[in-house]
Amino acid sequence: MKAAIFFSGKYGSTEQYANWIGEATGLPVFDIKDSIADPSKYDYLILGSSIIFFKLTIRKWVKANLSKLNGRSKLLFSVSGAGPSVKLERWVASSFPSGLLSQMEHVALRGRLDHSILNWWFRKFMWVGSLLNPDPDASRDERYGFDYVDKKTIEPIIKLIREFKHSEVPV
Ligand SMILES: Cc1cc2nc3c(=O)[nH]c(=O)nc-3n(C[C@H](O)[C@H](O)[C@H](O)COP(=O)(O)O)c2cc1C
């Protein structure tokens, strides 16, 4: 099996998870911004993406590479402030062309938000969001930031990758 990890993130947590998964499985890791990140060279694609403003940041790359993604086995991990929920599944589904999400497993991981590295606009957006958010935990996270990055949470992903490897029938 030829498999690889392709990730999209801005503030480091998605990259951190991608590298941990790479270390645990020995798979190569590509930032989608890197021009050598070519999914057509692999049979099994592990896609990692942060969520910013209710959308997966990998969505444009996915659209641009749709013909290479179709017909290949895929696993998605999202990285967000919100934990696994119906709301999160809606954001993920709306980021992809219809039907694509049903072709892959999705594991939701939680990220990190450090206000000190955000620009003024994003800090303001978070502050306004915290005032409007009816969920008290999410509101606190938006206002003060959070760090839910946890290496242990990649375990279901490692398990799925191992299961996929073992499901292959030797020729
Ligand atoms: C401007 C901005 C918008 C965000 N929007 C969302 C959002 O809509 N939903 C959510 O759950 N998390 C949101 N987050 C939290 C990010 O998903 C989280 O910080 C994630 O760890 C970022 O991944 P990265 O470190 O790989 O860039 C947002 C963060 C920023 C900075």
Q: Are residues 48 and 98 in the same domain?
A: yes
**80 CA to middle of ligand 1, Å?**
5
Whole-number CA gyration radius for the chain = 16
170 pLDDT exceeds 70?
Answer: no
Q: Are residues 49 and 85 in the same domain?
A: yes
Ligand 1 atom with minimal separation from the 16 CA: 26
Q: Are residues 81 and 133 in the same domain?
A: no
Proportion of the chain above pLDDT 90, given as a percent: 94
- Probe ligand 1: pick from 6, 47, 49, 52, max atoms within 8 Å of CB? 52
Q: Are residues 76 and 106 in the same domain?
A: yes
165 pLDDT exceeds 90?
Answer: no
149 pLDDT exceeds 60?
Answer: yes
Q: What value does the mean pLDDT take over residues 120-144?
A: 94
Q: Are residues 94 and 35 in the same domain?
A: yes
In single-letter form, the type of residue at position 168 comes to E
Contact 8, 58 (CB under 8 A): yes
SS3 state at 130: helix
CATH number for position 59: 3.40.50.360
Q: Which domain holds residue 141?
A: 113-147
**9 CA to middle of ligand 1, Å?**
9
> Whole-prediction pTM value?
0.95
Q: Are residues 85 and 117 in the same domain?
A: no
pLDDT in tens, 48-78: 999 999 999 999 999 999 999 999 999 999 9
Q: Are residues 160 and 141 in the same domain?
A: no
CB atoms within 10 A of CB 88: 18
Q: Are residues 62 and 118 in the same domain?
A: no
Q: Are residues 40 and 7 in the same domain?
A: yes
Q: Are residues 58 and 104 in the same domain?
A: yes
Q: Are residues 98 and 65 in the same domain?
A: yes
Q: Are residues 85 and 43 in the same domain?
A: yes
- Domains of the chain: total: 2
Query: Which has the closest alpha carbon to 90: 128, 51, 127, 129?
Result: 51
